[in-house]
Amino acid sequence: MQKLDYTENLRELTTELKCIEIINLINNLPVGQQVPQAKSLTPLIIQSKSNFDKIISNSPKFEILKALGADLLYSEDRIGNIINGIVNATLQSHQKIHLFLVPAFLDFYTFHNSLLNAALLSEIVLFKNYLPQLHNEDTIIFRVLSSKELELSKYAKILLLLRELIEAVQRVLNEENQTITVSLLDSGSDTNLGVKSTVEVTKSLFQIFKEVWDWLLNRKFYKNKLRNSGLMDNLNVMIAIQEAKEKGVIDEETARIYRESIIIKTEDLLELNVVPKELYELKTENDTRNLLNEFSEVKLLENKNN
């Protein structure tokens, strides 16, 4: 699992499992006094349990939770013991310390506290509090799908294609002097590759991939040639090419080359299993891999026919 996915999954889990609310409520229970307000924990625990049950068993989130022993902690028996302990403490007007004498309750508290600390440490240690910047609009994160370690030559080809595609978009948008940087290179089973440019360029990049991706999802690709269709005419970068042609800044042949170059390089990146992370997360992992494999096979067949 990549460190970005690990950190983001941890943060999402703390929200879904109501960690902050649960820990704050327990910590704010008065010491040395009766704790009738402990009953407020019950609906939070039930909601946390409900959200836990919705987590898919083969997902990265469940992998993290299982490693922390959450599958046992959230079993029906353990949750029942926790709720019974809270009810007994409330009915008998016990003090806060009596809640921690219930083993299941102590484990539950420790787990949620540990999850919060793990999420915080991950952001501070792995990203030096840089994580919010990776989600800025001037950055686009690509996912490179791979079932094994990638060869250096493949990485080089991907980076070259990305640079050429971005430079083509920059030329069209008159942003040629803007620097392109790699803001993230995060390898695991797959690789997250963050690229930083300008807001307009990254938005245009995402639009291009999304149009092609939507076409793939609808199983329309290569029934008609993508580059000869009007599918992408409404994209900002394509509108800019058309306007430049109409104003006489570029001739019709140059406009055609710009348009075709952008589409071809996008196709080539998809064939190398490179897709914006945001699009990748819209589908399950297997669907994404299968779709890209199908795209590569159909493209290969068409190239042979041509």
pLDDT at 188 over 60: yes
DSSP calls for 215-271: HHHTT-BTTB-GGGSSTTTTSHHHHHHHHHHHTTSS-HHHHHHHHHHHHHHHHHHHH
The helix (H) or strand (E) run that includes residue 196 is: strand 191-196
Place of tokens 């990485």: 155
Highest mean pLDDT range out of 27-41, 157-171, 243-257, 271-285?
157-171
Percentage of the chain surpassing pLDDT 70? 86
Mean pLDDT of all residues in 36-51: 87
pLDDT score for 126: 85
pLDDT score for 288: 65
- CB–CB of 105/86 below 8 Å? yes
Mean pLDDT of all residues in 257-278: 88
User: For the chain, how are helix, strand and coil distributed in percent, rounded to 5?
Assistant: 65, 10, 25
pLDDT at 298 over 90: no
pLDDT at 73 over 90: yes
- CB–CB of 264/227 below 8 Å? yes
pLDDT score for 208: 87
Q: Which of 17-26, 156-165, 274-283 has the lowest mean pLDDT?
A: 274-283
Strand partners, 34: 95
pLDDT at 157 over 90: yes
Q: For helices 152-172 and 252-271, what crossing angle results, to 10°? A: 150
Mean pLDDT of all residues in 228-257: 80
Question: Which amino acid is residue 99, in one-letter code?
Answer: L
What 3-state DSSP class applies to 141? Answer: strand
Structure tokens at 177: 């002097």
Q: How far apart are CA 216 and CA 65, in angstroms?
A: 34
Domain residue ranges in the chain: 3-129, 137-305
Q: Cβ of 218: how many Cβ atoms within 10 Å?
A: 8
- The residue among 71, 87, 9, 74 whose CA lies nearest residue 46 is 74
pLDDT score for 95: 82
Question: Which amino acid is residue 232, in one-letter code?
Answer: M
- CB–CB of 205/169 below 8 Å? yes
**Tens digits of residue pLDDT in 106-153:** 999 999 999 999 999 998 888 877 777 888 889 999 999 887 777 888
Go through 74-108 and write b for each residue having 16 or more CB atoms within 10 A of its CB, e for each that does not: beeebbebbbebbeebbeeebebebbeebebbebb
